[in-house]
Amino acid sequence: MFNDIIRPRRLRTSDNLRRLVRETRISPESLIWPIFVVEGENIYQEIESLPGQYHYSPDQLYRMVERAQEHGVSRVILFGLPKDKDECGSGAWAEDGIVQQGIRKIKELAPEMYVVTDVCMCEYTSHGHCGILCGRDVDNDKTLEVLAKTALSHARAGADMVAPSDMMDGRVAAIRSILDENGFQNIPIMAYSAKFASYFYGPFREAAGSAPSFGDRRSYQMDPHNGREAMRECELDVTEGADILMVKPALAYLDLVHEARQRFDLPIACYAVSGEYAMVKAAAKAGLIDEYGVMCESAVCMYRAGADILITYYACELADAIRKGDIG
């Protein structure tokens, strides 16, 4: 029976009113923009698999800083593409490694920019796996040592926060302890806690040159079937000292963003990964969808699910959309 006193449409009658009653409020302050730094000079090249995103050599990072400032984005997460790789990924913790160079450069150009670093081995190992191999599998405990060294070298280079994405057991504790022993008690850890073995990372692996040369990442990244296990991973990271928990990918995993938000008190980040971005770009190019609309709507849904922080290749465009009031 229609109760004609209760009319939800009443609150949808004008744009002004709809903006007044939005349940989900978004700030550009919650956006983090992923950046790819490559070894070399004079490299400023659009990434084929991620249209609108670039490879920057350190001397070209001023272009990224300018673009970020233009859009009011002041948080980035860095990924590195080294010139040389080896079996154990030693480039990851080299004092003059590519991420370390990138951090110093950004801090020199824009000290106010908040620099997070991705801590992982896959861009630095010749085999493309996220750690030290033992036979054809990644040795968890040996990998902890190199991850810890890597995080420490990022902190020494001036990183503001480290974000381990390798999915080894115990890496948050290992990183926390090496940072603390070396006077970096105040460097937070954003843990890629519920990171799934996902086909949505395809364009990233092309961009970062980090596809595994054999096998896949299913012995360390999570099985997409498992939601309870994702909460267990979050719980473990909380006990190991993580400061921020992350769910990755985002759009197909919003149930877990929601659940993590309900269960834990820490800030929850979600990562709208390369495949999510590339799909929107490709569909828009094919004339199938409205890119701006889909970008806005997807982001709103991530926040509505419970994300406090959004890591996205659309950070600059979303910051503008939020300021215009199209979302947020």
Give the footprint of ligand PBG on this chain (CB under 6 A).
118, 120, 122, 130, 165, 201, 204-205, 210, 217, 273-274
User: Which of residues 110 and 277 has its CB atom nearest to ligand PBG in the complex?
Assistant: 277
Min separation Cβ 235 and ligand PBG, Å: 21
- Which of 110/121 has CB closer to ligand PBG? 121
Q: Are strands 161-164 and 244-248 parallel, antiparallel or unpaired?
A: unpaired
- Report in angstroms how near the CB of residue 326 gets to ligand PBG at its nearest: 24
Residue among 51, 9, 74, 39 nearest 209 (CA):
39
CA–CA separation, 189 and 161 (whole Å): 6
Separation of first and last alpha carbons in the chain: 35
Minimum distance from CB of 190 to ligand PBG (Å)?
Answer: 12
Q: Which residue is nearest to ligand PBG (CB)?
A: 204
Catalytic residue among 85, 149, 248, 281: 248
As given in the structure block, the two tokens for residue 239 are: 């006990």
Q: Which is nearer to ligand PBG, 28 or 131 (CB)?
A: 131
β partners of residue 133: 138
What tokens does 62 get?
């001023």
Contact 122/213 with Cβ under 8 angstroms?
A: no
Residue 67 beta carbon to ligand PBG: minimum distance, rounded to whole angstroms: 18
Catalytic annotation, pick one of 85, 105, 149, 195: 195
Taking the least distance from each CB to ligand PBG, the nearer of 110 and 115 is: 115
Task: Tell me whether residue 195 is one of the annotated catalytic residues.
Answer: yes
Q: Which residues pair with 134 in a beta bridge?
A: 137
Active site residue 281: no
Cα–Cα distance list, 197 to 19, 62, 202, 299 (Å): 38, 34, 11, 22
Q: Indicate which residues carry an active-site annotation.
A: 195, 248
